[in-house]
Chains A and B, each alone.
Chain A
Amino acid sequence: MAVLKMQKVQILGMRKDLKGILKLIQEKAVMQVEDVQSEVELEAISEENHNTDFQIAELDFAIKFLSDHAPTRKIWEGRPSHTIDAALKKLKCFDHQTIINACKKLEEDIVADQNAQNTLVEEAALLTSWKKLPFDLNIPRETDYIHILIGLVSAGDYEEMKKEICNIGDLNEMHKVNEDGGKVYFTIVIAKSQLDKTKAVLNTYKFQTIELPYFEGTVKDRLKDIKEKLEKIEEKLEKHQKEKIDLAKHSDDLKVVHDVLSWQDEENETRAKLKGGSYSFVIEGWIAKVEIEDLKTSLHKISENVAIENIKAKKGEEAPIKLRNKKVAWPFESVTTLYGFPTASEVDPTPFLASFFIVFFALCLTDSGYGLLLFGSMFLFLKFFKLPEESKGLVKLLMWGGILTMIAGIFFGGYFGMTPEQAPGFLVSDGAFKFQLVNATSGNGPLTFLVLAMVIGIAHVLFGKLIDGWWKMKQGDYLDAVLDSFLWVAYILALLGFGLSSVDMVIPASLSTIFMWLALGGTAAMILTQGRKQETLAGKAIIGVLSLYGLVGYFGDVLSYSRIMALGLGTGIIAFAVNTIAGLAIDLIPYVGFLFAGLVLLVGHLMNLLLSALGAFIHSARLQFVEFFGKFMEGGGLPFKPFKRHCKYITLN
């Protein structure tokens, strides 16, 4: 339950065994392979299959292309699962290249047909306005004597313009073809001698020239022709669609091949890191110390001529971080990894944050009804959905969060935001909920909740500091542990004791003198010790006094836990509001009011649960990362990335 100790190792073996050994390491997924950097220059070991990259890209394309028609899987079934052997066999016996080529060809055809379709549709749209064009579309637009222009002007200007153009000379002839949308569509035949003058007039009226396409026949003929062509394209597209559906039957197989090839790709990348001669090879990498023996035994089963030995890490090279936690704490690794990894010399915070995190989460919800819903849905999710291993942690965490929320809800009297009067009888006795300890919405309740949040906060912060001290002791830094960690904890406890006893709360006033001296002694100890790493005496004194300012930080940290109370109350009040609105619906809407009320209850409570659970998770996590982690770790470790079989579309069993 901690950060595993990592060891850098070197595996030496014979070239003929390389394939089997790589297969074994990839299957076990226990080793992060690094570049071999030996002083002796050895040749790099070449890759076996060079174009896996390209093939994977092609497969990705085909899978995406066929995704609309791929056989659908029920959402709870998850990814299809295969054994390794079955998957590898698929690569050999399924001819994926043919399918990919067919997909490529089909995509090209579809795009070409769609483009043709668009062009024709656009042309048809243009021509529809010109149906009454008095001449064929293949008539020359220019002869020795005349010019023909086709275009439009605004309807209001047309008559005036026509008059002006007729005035230029009677060789000009205008023909109105159509009027639509405030525009007049017309043709004009201009004598070449009058071309410039006429064009000038046309320009003043903002004449817009239209280029009609060339065609042997009238506009109507062309429109008929387009219609026929469009029908043909339509038929072709339908045919393509059928072909696509046929091809999509193979998409599951394509996915298997994709993943198998991506394993090969990973193998190639790993091979590129190896070095070797004609007969031997070297692999270097990180492995958890506890897993070395097991790997050694497995390696020796493959060949007698293989050695695995510990080597020193390069200067400045940090060991990658692999966390391993017991079953109970394991789901909380998802919270830790959200923040990042501790470094190799730091403690794994997962087991320590687990109990606090789950309690914070529950207190931010404090509703048994919601807790039950959360637990139930996550339980079913886990039971009936095939989830990938890495998502299971989060689901389990939420499931346990649901149980704790139920308990918190019982203590705080939260049942879907109901008041005792609204609640069913078995939950209530004497006008209050059974087992209710705090009523957070009346009297001293809110304050009690707030104080509870703060107390948990103090415990959390001091716990963090204690972990810091414990870890420093483990590393042998006894002085730092005592002065930087335990002294702080004692000092804060003394101050708290003094504060509480002087107002006679919890601690009797008679003890206040003792606590006062403890607090004063603590202050003196802080001033004397905290500046010990400075070189000059003045430096020691200044840093010592300034260290007291750290108290403000702790004060701020503890206040931050008040958010637990605000979020906890918020959930209950919104739930109450949903109930009230549903009640109003029953009162105000005759006969069918209960239908609306049911809808309001269902949607309202689900939304509230969703948003509140999200908020509870985020803020509980923040309290860990900012207020807790800061006390004993910095983080920034590099995650362990083993050489293994990554799957995108399938799961392995």
Chain B
Amino acid sequence: MFESGLAITVAGVFIAVVLGGIGSAVGVSTAGQAGAGVISEKPELFGKVLVLQALPGTQGIYGFLAGLLVLIQVGLLGGEAATVSVSTAWQLFFACMPVGFTCLVSGIQQGKATAAGLQAVAKDPSNVGKAIIMSAMVETYAVLGLLITILLLFGIEIA
């Protein structure tokens, strides 16, 4: 597979989408478990809890976005697939790393921060804004990873 440019490119897409997806899946699940505890006591808070639970879901979207951008750049999406040289393909592959790894870790950790925030919401629903912001602090690093990936992907010349 190391001779096929396209295969390496797809491996990059895999890194971005799957790592981001895992990060979000774990994060949303952690937040969801805490959220279920909150609504078992106060079902009227469902709306607020749902917003909080959705927060660690962004990493999956960032990974998906990066993967999609690669597909668009090499024309795998509905257009004529460009022939990608092996060296370009490795560039694309490594360009996917920042978003993949930052999303993996920040997704999981944001889930934990959100779960803790949900306890604050359970005590006093007016804490929801603060809990959201505290959870979003963790997301910063996924955004930065995405930023570098996007810049790299736009920067890489595809023949």
Which residues of A approach B to under 8 Å, CB–CB?
Answer: 338-340, 441-442, 445-447, 450, 560, 562-563, 565-567, 569-570, 573-574, 576-577, 580, 583-584, 587, 611, 614-615, 618-619, 621-622, 625-626
Contacts and interface: CB of A to CB of B under 8 A. Distances in A.
Given A570-B65, A587-B78, A618-B132, A560 B140 contact: yes
Interface in B112-159: 129-130, 132-133, 136-137, 140, 143-144, 146-147, 150-151, 154
Contacts, number: 73
Nearest to B58: A615
Contacts of A570: 61-62, 65, 146
A190 B139 CA distance: 73
Contacts of B140: 560, 563, 622
* Ranked 5 nearest A-B pairs via Cβ: A338-B129, A566-B147, A563-B143, A618-B136, A446-B154
Contacts of A447: 151
Contacts of A583: 78
A623 to B, nearest CB: 10
23 contacts: A338-B130, A339-B130, A340-B130, A562-B144, A563-B147, A565-B147, A566-B147, A566-B150, A567-B143, A570-B61, A570-B65, A570-B146, A574-B65, A574-B68, A576-B72, A577-B72, A580-B78, A611-B54, A615-B58, A618-B55, A618-B136, A622-B133, A622-B137
A521 to B, nearest CB: 34
Given A567-B143, A573-B69, A622-B137, A614 B51 contact: yes
B47 to A, nearest CB: 13
Nearest to B79: A580
B77 interface: yes
Interface residues of B, number: 27
A566 B136 contact: no
Contacts of B68: 573-574, 577
Main secondary structure of the interface of B (DSSP, over half): helix
Interface hub of A562, A563, A565 (most chain B Cβ within 10 A)? A563
Interface string B33-71: 000000000000000000100110110011001001100
A87 B65 CA distance: 55
Interface of B: 51, 54-55, 57-58, 61-62, 65, 68-69, 72, 77-78, 129-130, 132-133, 136-137, 140, 143-144, 146-147, 150-151, 154
A213 B42 CA distance: 40
Given A450-B151, A569-B150, A614-B51, A619 B78 contact: no
B3 to A, nearest CB: 29
A615 B110 CA distance: 14
B147 to A, nearest CB: 4
A563 B136 CA distance: 12
B14 to A, nearest CB: 17
B133 A618 contact: yes
Contacts of A569: 150
